[in-house]
């Protein structure tokens, strides 16, 4: 009989298998996600889970399921809070990494996004009007 080595998570107070911890961390991966959400977005894991459920476990833009994409990112308005952290008041929705980076590349400029969409539509039809 093989004994699975366990490690104690100081946050949830549970003994869990070592593969549920990142190396050198004292908290399990699940609790670590909660720490990140709170420190970056002033959001609890429960709030994140509810938002994910409200979005049917899908990226709000591309509509692909989280199971296909991996963990969805909490998007926020960088005009309010530049950088990776948010005050919590400017939180938007959960997006896949690709859609989140695409919005960032467009710098949330609605006119640029509309022009990009019109460009794609025009070229999908095979019309090369300017």
Same domain, 49 and 108: yes
Whether residues 7 and 61 share a domain: the answer is no
Domain match, 112 and 61 both: yes
The pLDDT tens digits of the residues spanning 85-130 come to 899 899 999 999 999 999 999 998 999 999 999 999 998 866 555 5
Residues 55 and 18 in one domain: no
Based on the domain organization, do 8 and 70 belong to the same domain? no
Helices (H), the chain: 29-41, 45-54, 66-69, 97-105, 110-124
pTM of the predicted protein model? 0.75
| Same domain assignment for residues 62 and 4 | no
Domain of 20 in residue numbering reads as 1-30
pLDDT value, residue 3: 80
Asked whether residue 82 falls in the same domain as residue 107, the answer is: yes
Could you tell me which of 39, 74, 43, 71 has the C-alpha nearest to residue 27? Answer: 39
> Reduced to 3 states, what is the DSSP secondary structure of residue 69?
helix
The answer to whether residues 48 and 19 belong to one domain is: no
Domain annotation covers residue 130: no
* pLDDT grade for 68, boundaries at 50, 70 and 90: very high
pLDDT digits (tens, 9 = 90+) for 7-29: 999 888 999 999 999 888 889 88
Question: Is the residue at 129 inside a domain?
Answer: no
Based on the fold, state whether residues 119 and 86 are members of the same structural domain. Answer: yes
**Number of domains, the chain:** 2
24 and 75 part of one domain: no
């Amino acid at each position: 009989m093989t004994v699975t080595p366990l490690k104690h998570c100081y946050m949830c107070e549970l003994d869990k298998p070592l593969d549920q911890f990142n190396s050198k961390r004292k908290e399990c991966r699940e609790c670590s996600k909660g720490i990140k959400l709170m420190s970056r977005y002033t959001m609890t894991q429960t709030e994140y889970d509810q938002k994910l459920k409200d979005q049917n476990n899908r990226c709000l833009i591309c509509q692909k399921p989280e199971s296909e994409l991996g963990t969805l990112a909490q998007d926020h308005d960088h005009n309010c809070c530049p950088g990776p952290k948010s005050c919590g008041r400017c939180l938007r929705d959960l997006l896949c990494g690709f859609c989140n980076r695409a919005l960032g590349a467009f710098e949330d400029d609605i006119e640029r996004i509309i022009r990009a969409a019109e460009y794609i539509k025009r070229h999908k039809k095979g019309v090369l009007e300017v």
